[in-house]
A and B are shown apart, each in its own frame.
Chain A
Amino acid sequence: MTTVFGVPLQALFSQVLVGLINGSFYALLSLGLAIIFGLLNIVNFAHGAFYMLGALGAWLLLEHLGIGYWPALIISPLIVGLFGALIERTMLKRIRGLDPIYGLLLTFGLALVIQGVARNYFGVSGEPYDMPPQLTGGKNLGFMFLPNYRAWVVLVSVLLCTLTWFVTERTRLGSYLRAATENPLLVQAFGINVPRLITLTYGLGVGLAALAGVMAAPIYRVSPLMGSDLIIVVFAVVVIGGMGSIFGSILTGFALGVIEGLTKVYYPEASSTVVFVIMAIVLMVKPAGLFGRTA
């Protein structure tokens, strides 16, 4: 059997695929972060908490209203997105134009509050959330068994990433958005409601995080700490990709998933640190990140 550095090629293939699956979560989450930072200049530390709220929302919908996975995939991000918009309206709006550090502190505090409240009611072990019956099982690809649900996650992630990139970079709405961040006064003068645009953008970014949460619920478990475990890695992804670069964060999300997956084969002890090592190296060589436009 062919081997690469002592690992059979087959095993290597499966690890790359698993890495891609994890990468699609990183991509989905860092996408929302990149939008919020790129367009609103807010370092959204509450992103992990919104991701958790998305999953928790899906669980609550099922547990108390009997609403299953498919409707929850839309309803939960919608509710969490609205909640995000409300937070933008009532809190983040007031610190607009100040140093980004204020936004960072505010969202960090929010994350702690949201997580603390959730922990108080739901404990830390988490609650089980069943996979939708249509997506259980899997296919044998010859070199590995690919669960259908994981394939679904990759598919959704790629679709959403493409869609978001397309909307912000190639449509009129996207051009308004980008213009509004460059020069809000001028855009407002053209008759566009800039504050509403900003609220909607924040809501969208938060909704994306919640959607990733619903996608993650059947794989992991719905637990109040699920966001805080992930958010630091996602931040590293955004930093490596270049703060604010949407394309950059999507690409780095997938790439880092693969690198992390390979580390788990060759030197598993380092798998939780490899992302940060890469971050440090990238910051030394290109302080603006791989795809960042400004320093």
Chain B
Amino acid sequence: MRIASRVLALACLLPLAALAQGKVVKIGVLNDQSGLYTDLGGPGSVVAAKMAAEEFGNKVAGMPIEIVTADHQNKPDIASSIATKWIDVDGVDAILDVPNSGCALAVAKVVADKNKVFINSGAATSNLTGKNCTPNTVHWTYDTWALANGTGKEVVRAGGKTWFFLTADYEFGKQLEKDTRAVVEANGGKVLGAVLHPLNASDFSSFLLQAQSSKANIIGLANAGGDTINSIKAASEFGIVAGGQKLAGLLVFITDVHSLGLKAANGLQLTSAFYWDHDDKTRAWAKKFAARHNGKMPSMVQAGVYAGVLHYLKAIQALKSKDDGKAVVAKMKELPTDDPLFGKGTIRTDGRKIHPMYLFEVKKPAESKGPWDYYKLIREIPADQAFRPLSQGDCPLVTAKK
């Protein structure tokens, strides 16, 4: 009896002791768990983070790893208040994913103020590693510049000289339009006009008719998720593609293609950092992921969360400490990255993770062997050309070094 109670007492003390010293590595996955970006990140990103932690046996440098999760509902104020509470009250060390550029910029600021680690996978704005860069941010998967550069350049090269944009009316859409505009004009193309549509608009036929009467060769979709899906569907219905104008999806996720169906989506060109059917390593990982996520294949955002957690844990292992966020991110930048999904790469001074990007075309229904067999590779954009050159980003960390 006495021994039993002593053991019990000890067992009670143990987690307390661990807490008191902060010796748990706590990773928070903060994303959209219920709205329009749920499928591309959402619970799947949490699965991805867990898979990365499990590869370390849920333990790093002697500290157990714990993963927490929350829904930011695509509202920057909610995102920043969760981030603040996580860090101040719950002792979270790193915040992952955070799609929605508005939310991402808000969280980046909180994390920098409190000197923790922010590894973004879901958001697109290139400002995260540009004028809003911090020594605590790593932007893993993709950004508006890379998307514009991939799809924009290729489409202009293939003869799409005049453009009209359908742009989601918030930070992300405007940034994507601006970046693509620059690429189009630099490659000899011309932008004839643009229309801003509200986020989550239900009907796109009005906007598409405006695009149609502009007579531009290419209608650039500077939007995401459900908005992109509805634009593409309405465009095929209103005979816009049949009329000779082409669509360029500037941010299309595999979950969007799945929802559109190949009949509506075939022929669409898109830029992505990851495709599950790329090689043996990505296939093996994707199978394991799908088994834990209702049979759904991972999106590039979920892949980025996995790889980001993996590299974060490697940095902590090398550093044997997790408390100083700046030091951890500095270590992440110092160590070369290597994971089964993105291969070998690096993280730049401005926080930009560098890897190749891929230009894909969506297969025709006849070419696809079944669900999730959607892309064919058109071109690999080498790592050194895929992202904005360090000197052009206006990141204070870079300019300060000069």
Interface residues of A (CB under 8 A from B): 8, 10-11, 14-15, 18-19, 21-22, 119, 123-128, 130-131, 138, 144-145, 147, 149-150, 219-221, 223, 225, 229-230, 261, 264-265, 268-269, 271-272
Contact = CB atoms under 8 A, between A and B. Distances in A.
B207 interface: yes
B202 interface: yes
Contacts of A125: 38-40, 225-226, 229, 255-256, 258-259
A261 B202 CA distance: 12
B38 A123 contact: yes
Nearest to B195: A268
B229 A221 contact: yes
Nearest to B258: A125
Nearest to B253: A125
Given A145-B238, A271-B201, A14 B261 contact: no
Interface of B: 34-36, 38-40, 42, 169, 195-198, 200-203, 205-207, 209-210, 213, 225-226, 229-230, 233-234, 237-239, 243, 255-256, 258-261, 263-264, 296
Given A130-B261, A225-B226, A268-B196, 11 more contacts: A22-B203, A128-B261, A128-B263, A131-B237, A138-B237, A147-B237, A147-B239, A223-B226, A261-B206, A269-B169, A272-B198
Contact of A271 (B197, B230, B233): B197
A230 B237 contact: no
B239 A127 contact: no
A101 B34 CA distance: 27
Contact of A220 (B38, B40, B202): B202
Nearest to B38: A124
A225 to B, nearest CB: 7
Contacts of A15: 206, 209
Contacts of B203: 18, 22
Contacts of A225: 35-36, 226
Contacts of B255: 123, 125
B207 A264 contact: yes
A125 B213 CA distance: 30
A229 B200 contact: yes
A223 B225 CA distance: 12
A138 B239 contact: yes
